[in-house]
Amino acid sequence: MTMNTSFKAALFGLAALGLTGTAASADQLADVKAAGKIVTATDMHYAPFDMLTNGTYEGMTKDLFDEVSKELGVEPVYQDIPWTAELPGLEVKKFDIVIAPVTITAERLERYTFTLPIADATVSLVKAAANTEMNKPEDIKGKTVGVQQGTAQFKQLQAYGESLGGVTVKEYGTTDEAYADLAAGRLDAVAGSLPNLTYLVKNRPETFALFEPAQFGEPSYFAWVLRPGEDSASFQKAINDAVLKMTDDGRVKAIQEKWLGTYTELPREVPTK
């Protein structure tokens, strides 16, 4: 009698676990819609994507994500988080998505879920406008070049410097700090994504100039980042569907032209490397 009762209890326990497992299976899109908001993280010191102007958040990222949020029917919550804390914070669920432009790399694709590209991210170089000694990317050999720490551009700069025979790479917490040192003559150049550097030169042509050609890395793209796993699948699809809709109706083009002065057609699928 006792054994039979125990057996029934065990079966009931297994069934309960099964029900609990089903109930616990998460769907991030459903959670976001239930909350009525998307909690984001970005670094608001990465013009033209993310900026604080007189204490107000603005930029290309905000314009794009405002529209995506409208398509999803939720309100965006924007948080200013240092870049080096963003992906770790995403992993421990401090926020729903990282909207700071993150370069898609093979290594990151294994660890995170990426949305469709939102901009070109090909690594490039900028110098002081008065510098006539350096023009081509290979001219940075033996020079000191600044770059934001923890970025794909940092890794590409390191690899490129090694291929040239040596470049001193100086890391910065923000691109603004690197630009300040370049303007003050403490750096020979700064490496970053082409859109960021194009925006910098467009707004401060008396101080900065692009190398010719500016790009030296393999073509790459920026995207937004979600946590890995099936829980994020519907969330990723909803965001991608919104981006494609915005691409087809011209909103992406208008936002790019507003902030970058030009339009770059982007892949309609997430790159695999």
- Write out the residue range of the structural domain in which residue 133 sits: 123-215
For residues 100 and 179, state if they share a domain.
no
208 touches 139 (CB < 8 A): no
Instruction: Give the pLDDT score at 68.
Output: 98
Residue 89 lies in a domain: yes
Identify whether 195 is part of a domain.
Answer: yes
Half-sphere exposure of 31 (CA within 13 A, CB side): 17
**Residue 1 counted as domain residue:** no
pLDDT at position 136, please?
96
Residues 36 and 167 in one domain: no
Does some domain include residue 6?
Answer: no
- What percentage of residues in the chain have a pLDDT greater than 70? 91
Residue 196 lies in a domain: yes
Query: Are 170 and 39 found together in one domain?
Result: no
Residue 158 shares a structural domain with residue 76: no
In-domain check, residue 9: no
Tally of domains within the chain = 2
Beta-sheet strands, E only, within 89-158: 97-103, 113-114, 119-120, 123-128, 144-148
Distance (Å, whole) CA 206 – CA 228: 44
In tens, the pLDDT along 137-174 reads 999 999 999 999 988 899 999 999 999 999 999 999 98
> Structure tokens of 137?
């990317």
Residue 17: what pLDDT?
40
Say whether both 109 and 165 belong to one domain. Answer: no
* Helix residue spans in the chain (DSSP H): 2-24, 28-35, 60-72, 83-91, 106-109, 152-164, 175-183, 194-203, 233-248, 251-260
Domain stop point among 215, 232, 248: 215
Counting other chains too, the contacts that 154-159 makes at CB distance below 8 Å and 24 or more residues apart are: 154/191, 156/123, 156/191, 156/216, 156/217, 156/218, 157/123, 157/191
78 and 142 share one domain:
no
CATH number for position 48? 3.40.190.10
Do 206 and 243 lie in a common domain?
no
Same domain, yes or no, for 40 and 57? yes
pLDDT at 152: 87
Same domain membership, residue 106 and residue 37: yes
Q: Considering the domain boundaries, does residue 17 fall inside one?
A: no
The values of phi and psi at residue 5, to 5°, are -60, -40
Angle value at C-alpha 237, between 231 and 241, nearest 5 degrees: 160
Q: Are residues 37 and 114 in the same domain?
A: yes
What is the rounded distance in angstroms from the CA atom of residue 48 to the CA atom of residue 10?
60
Both 246 and 132 in one domain: the answer is no
Q: In the sheet where 50-53 sits, what is the strand order?
A: 45-46, 50-53, 56-58
What lies within 8 Å, CB to CB, of 128 at 6+ separation is 182, 183, 185, 207, 208, 209
Preceding omega of 213 cis (within 30 degrees of 0): yes
Residue 261: the pLDDT is 85
Residue 23, pLDDT score:
37
Residues (pLDDT < 50) of the chain are: 1-25
Tell me the backbone φ, ψ of residue 44, rounded to 5 degrees: -85, 40
Q: Is residue 83 part of a domain?
A: yes
67 plus 135 within the same structural domain: no
